[in-house]
Amino acid sequence: MTTEIGRTSAAQPDWKRRLFILGAAGAGALAVSGLPGRVLAATADRLKVALHANPSSLDPATGSSGSDHMYLYCLYDTLTEWDPDTLTVRPGLARSHAFTDPKTLVLDLQEGVTFHDGTPLDAEAVKFNLDRVRGEPISNIRADLATVESVEVTGPLQVTLHLKEPDSALPLILSDRVGMVVSPTALRASEGGRLDRAPVGSGPWKLVSWTDGERFLAEKHSAYWRQDRPGMQEIEILIMPDAATRLRSLQSGQTHIACQITELLQPIVKRSPKLEVRARPTIWCYILFLNASKGPLADVRVRQALNYAIDRENFIRAAMAGQGEAASMMLPKSHWAYAPEAEGRTAYDPDRAKALLAEAGFADGFTLDFRGFPDQAYVQRQEVILNQLGKVGIRGRFANAPIPETDSRWWGERQGEAYFSVWTGRPDPTNTYATLYGETSYYNPSRLKPPEGFMEAITESRSTDDQAARAKALARAQVLAMDFALNVPIAFRYQMDAVNRSVSDFGPNLLGKPKFTTAVVGA
């Protein structure tokens, strides 16, 4: 399907200083054969990017895939933003935010912001969006604003959020999907109150066209409120699920950036004098999501057995070229909220896994319905997982489909029993845990109630802005979550983007979701 849409300066970040740059001059290049037959005419002021996934939706409230963000960031601003190195909160559409008391958050908006359709982005528009996100049945992110009691317009450019309980995480939560503001005018005129294929935001670019599984094209929002961005007049994203194909597009000059190449492709980039890999650790986690509402996985002992059956260090060596961090929980060791007391639940112990399975009545093992993606790198990772689980008697095969299709079947239709994918993280760690383990959360297909004391620990962590106190409370939630074993976290990955050296002001971030807004292509 193709959709066609009618046609305060800030210092740029010094990515060279921040990034772990891989790549050296040398001979050789990846052959350019096998590129998709859609090479487009060169455009001097167009940034060209190769991405791995088609969006599930261009409406921030209705999408289901973490990969959507790379497109959404092009089309929408957020009420707050996150620092690329620390994930601390920064101003966005809200030039300032303040808690006037523990249960009242006041947002003061930027002046002169307009949507792509020319209508103003004011307090009424923000209230409309926040009410839609937290109240409409079509919203997949209602849980993100569960602490909000009501939203009030307290000035033409001021919005006040009245909370049910203190929530220090909320400013950072507003840097994610819930803070992406959509034109109320466009929503009211849309079919079904959703803009899956006809997005109207206030971001740096506005959509020109989107062809499913092939190409996304957007042009500069001429009335964009930030004078220093976007860096390029147009952005074109070519959708290439296979990492080697993405790299070939870069080598051939078809694109400027090939996002998320695999670890095994790094040596090829090193041999090209015009290319480099810009990489850094992230909070992206390879994970086996479980639907514990049925079958053997309804027994917590079986879920715990899966965690003990995975040899994470072997997975990193075999499927990640040795570059990654074994996951003990849903946060990496470098994160401020990492909890040493939650360690041990994912230690490789096949004997313990077999004993737990026998105790649960599955001494002879059982078969699971696995879901995943069909690209070569993911199939290799699936083979490693199946091999490891097979050693304790857990069998199965993967039914693979493209990311949006698999996401829809797993999260929306709740098909399958185990889904190998990635958790792309959230800017605030409590949002990760509440989203994955909340009883009514879209991202908890089991719909199981979390362990006693879990939500209380999340609430306590959000009741203060003291980071040490927040980490202490969240540690209790992490211990409970890992004992409950609703998912199987496997390994944290690096974001590895292969980039033409002519591209400046672009690099990976701690969240692992690239933003292209400031990127500039030189000579």
CA distance 249 to 255: 6
CA distance 231 to 506: 10
In a domain, 34, yes or no: no
Same domain, 181 and 74: yes
Same domain, 117 and 236: no
pLDDT level of residue 264 (50, 70, 90 thresholds): confident
Q: How much is the average pLDDT of 102-113?
A: 98
Residue 396: in which H helix or E strand, if any?
A: strand 394-400
pLDDT at 39 over 80: no
In a domain, 9, yes or no: no
pLDDT level of residue 328 (50, 70, 90 thresholds): very high
pLDDT at 227 over 60: yes
**Mean residue pLDDT across the chain:** 91
In a domain, 153, yes or no: yes
In a domain, 177, yes or no: yes
pLDDT tens for 412-453 read 899 999 999 999 899 999 999 999 999 999 899 999 999 999
Residue where a domain terminates, one of 147, 164, 189 = 189
Same domain, 226 and 320: no
pLDDT at 345 over 70: yes
Same domain, 260 and 337: no
Same domain, 158 and 65: yes
In a domain, 81, yes or no: yes
Q: How much is the average pLDDT of 474-482?
A: 98
Domain span at 219:
205-280+495-521
In a domain, 195, yes or no: no
pLDDT at position 253, please? 96
pLDDT at 228 over 70: yes
pLDDT at position 523, please? 67
505 — alpha (psi -120 to 50), left (phi > 0) or beta?
Answer: left
| Candidate from 3-12, 161-170, 352-361 with smallest mean pLDDT | 3-12
Q: Are 312 and 491 in contact (CB under 8 A)?
A: yes
Q: How much is the average pLDDT of 455-463?
A: 96
Same domain, 322 and 423: yes
Same domain, 486 and 503: no
pLDDT at 4 over 90: no
Same domain, 165 and 128: yes
pLDDT at 148 over 60: yes
pLDDT at position 55, please? 95
CA distance 127 to 152: 7
Q: What is the CATH number of the domain that holds 114?
A: 3.90.76.10
Residue where a domain terminates, one of 144, 161, 189 = 189
Q: How much is the average pLDDT of 292-312?
A: 97
Same domain, 271 and 245: yes
In a domain, 47, yes or no: no
The secondary structure of 497-519 as a DSSP string is EEEETTEES----TTS----TT-
Same domain, 396 and 316: yes
pLDDT at position 14, please? 36
pLDDT at position 1, please? 58
Residue where a domain terminates, one of 189, 219, 243 = 189
pLDDT at 19 over 60: no
Q: Are 330 and 478 in contact (CB under 8 A)?
A: yes
Q: Is the pTM of this model over 0.85?
A: no
Closest CA to 129 of 79, 181, 78, 176: 181
Q: How much is the average pLDDT of 213-224?
A: 97
- 3-class DSSP state for residue 361? coil
pLDDT tens for 152-211 read 999 999 999 999 999 999 999 999 999 999 999 999 999 999 999 999 999 999 999 999
Task: Return the exposure string of 90-126: e unless at least 16 CB atoms fall within 10 Å of the residue's CB, then b.
Answer: eebbbeebebeeeeebbbbbbeebbbbeeebbbbebb
CA distance 219 to 395: 49
CA distance 130 to 306: 39
Same domain, 332 and 266: no
Half-sphere exposure of 304 (CA within 13 A, CB side): 20
Q: What is the CATH number of the domain that holds 463?
A: 3.10.105.10
pLDDT at 274 over 60: yes
In a domain, 152, yes or no: yes
pLDDT at 215 over 90: yes
Same domain, 484 and 421: yes
pLDDT at position 233, please? 97
* Number of domain units in the chain: 3
